[in-house]
């Protein structure tokens, strides 16, 4: 019964992950995933002991951060508690995507992951096809389908690329060659990432290709390997050539100087560092940067925002939380090599986080939960 319920919940999460709605609380609107409601319902099943309440050891750092957040607000000058509460709800809701998937996946991990992966990839393919339709039929610039953020969209698509690699690498017999269908799916996801126009998002397919080569170099024949890279690489090159807008975005940091997106980010980062120097230990208060400086676009750097708002202690706790599963996957590689696939995806998001806020990406916390379930099974 629990096994069937786990599979059903994971399948629903895979179906609902891309779709979002607004949740209003105390006059503040918070954008949430439809899957967040499934996560909340799953917590109720944990509370009534339908699922055994257990958490991976990795959560010790994020729990420490939750304790530290009130400390940062206590020492802040006239903090906006409503803004802090809104940010905390978003973070806590995202972290729940670590705990519930871990509980659901900690037993019969391979079977459940296989089902989740198939449903998620099918859903992502539909969303990707929709964005391609928006770009080439409706001629929309930087389409992101049901998402409203191209960076979040590209991260979601990359997550499913890594799931494709997981499906292949988790097979008992790796000599099975990837078929035409898998190539079409991968090409669709990569094309959708390209049309989204997310510059940092392009690192996802690149890292995924490296990971795939690492796992498949001895199990895929040369012809199949060349076909895969020629197909996906060819799509990327042709699209970049035919889409001058993407080329302009890629070279903008070099040609536009201080007026480019990177130049604007550098000015924001300087502002953030100056603010941190005023309160280096406790920060200016969780969720307070935008309230104090009103930049409208934020700091565009995950690590700097934690440093500025929660001080050096908060940054260390957050960084420890997201780096620990990567280290754990390396330590357990000889026993559970597939965990490294999701550690590579986490690494991609850590790079992504230099230019964007990734702490509320559900796929980040889901991947941490997956790594924990693989290397710390029941």
Place of tokens 């050539």: 241
The confidence score (pLDDT) of residue 268 equals: 84
Given pLDDT bands bounded at 50, 70 and 90, which one contains residue 230? low
Query: What is the C-alpha to C-alpha distance for residues 321 and 340, in angstroms, rounded to an integer?
Result: 16
Rg (CA), the chain: 21
User: Lowest-pLDDT range, 110-124, 268-282, 285-299?
Assistant: 285-299
Helix (H) or strand (E) holding 110: helix 109-136
Nearest to 174 by CA among 209, 210, 212: 212
**What DSSP line would sit under 208-226, residue for residue?**
HHHHHHHHHTTTS-HHHHH
pLDDT tens digits along 261-273? 666 777 888 888 8
pLDDT tens digits along 8-40? 999 999 999 888 776 665 556 667 788 888 898
pLDDT tens digits along 63-96? 999 999 999 999 988 888 988 988 898 899 899 9
Place of tokens 């957040």: 69
Query: What is the C-alpha to C-alpha distance for residues 92 and 245, in angstroms, rounded to an integer?
Result: 37
Place of tokens 């996906």: 232
Domain count, the chain: 1
Specify whether the CB–CB gap between 303 and 358 falls below 8 A. no
List residues bridging with 25 in a β-sheet. 28
Q: Does 42 have pLDDT greater than 50? A: yes
Given pLDDT bands bounded at 50, 70 and 90, which one contains residue 175? very low
The confidence score (pLDDT) of residue 262 equals: 63
Q: State the residue range of the domain holding 26.
A: 2-259+262-375
The confidence score (pLDDT) of residue 211 equals: 87
pLDDT tens digits along 304-348? 999 999 999 999 999 999 999 999 898 888 888 889 999 999 999
Specify whether the CB–CB gap between 90 and 29 falls below 8 A. no
Specify whether the CB–CB gap between 89 and 25 falls below 8 A. yes
User: Lowest-pLDDT range, 184-193, 218-227, 369-378?
Assistant: 218-227
Q: Does 376 have pLDDT greater than 90? A: no
Range among 15-29, 179-193, 250-264, 345-359 rated most confident: 345-359
**Mean pLDDT for the stretch of residues 200-226:** 75
Alpha-carbon dihedral 237, 243, 245, 249, rounded to 10 degrees: -10
Q: pTM (2 decimals)?
A: 0.90
Task: Indicate the SS3 state at residue 118.
Answer: helix
């Amino acid at each position: 019964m629990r096994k069937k319920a786990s599979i059903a919940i994971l399948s629903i999460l895979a179906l609902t992950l891309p779709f979002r709605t607004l949740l209003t609380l105390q006059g503040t609107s918070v954008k949430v995933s439809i899957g967040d409601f499934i996560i909340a319902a799953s917590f109720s099943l944990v509370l009534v002991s339908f699922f055994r309440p257990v958490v991976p050891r990795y959560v010790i750092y994020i729990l420490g951060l939750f304790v530290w957040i009130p400390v940062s607000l206590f020492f802040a000058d006239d903090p906006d508690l409503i803004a802090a509460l809104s940010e905390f709800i978003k973070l806590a809701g995202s972290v729940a995507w670590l705990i519930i998937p871990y509980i659901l996946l900690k037993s019969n991990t391979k079977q459940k992951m296989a089902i989740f992966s198939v449903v998620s990839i099918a859903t992502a393919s539909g969303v990707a096809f929709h964005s391609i339709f928006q770009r080439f039929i409706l001629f929309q610039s930087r389409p992101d389908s049901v998402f409203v953020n191209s960076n979040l969209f590209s991260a979601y698509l990359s997550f499913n690329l890594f799931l494709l690699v997981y499906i292949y690498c988790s097979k008992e017999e790796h000599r099975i060659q990837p078929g035409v269908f898998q190539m079409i799916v991968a090409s669709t996801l990569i094309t959708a990432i390209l049309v989204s126009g997310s510059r940092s998002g392009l690192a996802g397919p690149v890292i995924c290709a490296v990971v795939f080569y690492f796992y498949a170099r001895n199990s895929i024949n040369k012809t199949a390997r060349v076909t895969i890279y020629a197909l996906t690489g060819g799509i990327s090159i042709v699209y970049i050539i035919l889409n001058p807008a993407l080329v302009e975005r890629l070279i903008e940091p070099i040609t536009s100087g201080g007026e480019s997106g990177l130049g604007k980010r550098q000015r924001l980062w300087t502002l953030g560092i100056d603010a941190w120097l005023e309160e280096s230990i406790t920060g200016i208060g969780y969720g307070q940067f935008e309230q104090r400086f009103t930049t409208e676009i934020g700091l565009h750097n995950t690590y700097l925002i934690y440093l500025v708002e929660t001080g050096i202690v908060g940054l260390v706790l957050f960084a420890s939380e997201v780096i620990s599963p990567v280290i754990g996957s390396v330590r357990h590689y000889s026993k559970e090599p597939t965990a490294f696939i999701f550690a590579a995806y986490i690494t991609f998001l850590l790079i992504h986080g230099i230019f964007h806020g990734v702490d509320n990406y559900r796929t980040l916390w889901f991947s941490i939960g997956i790594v924990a379930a693989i290397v710390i099974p029941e």
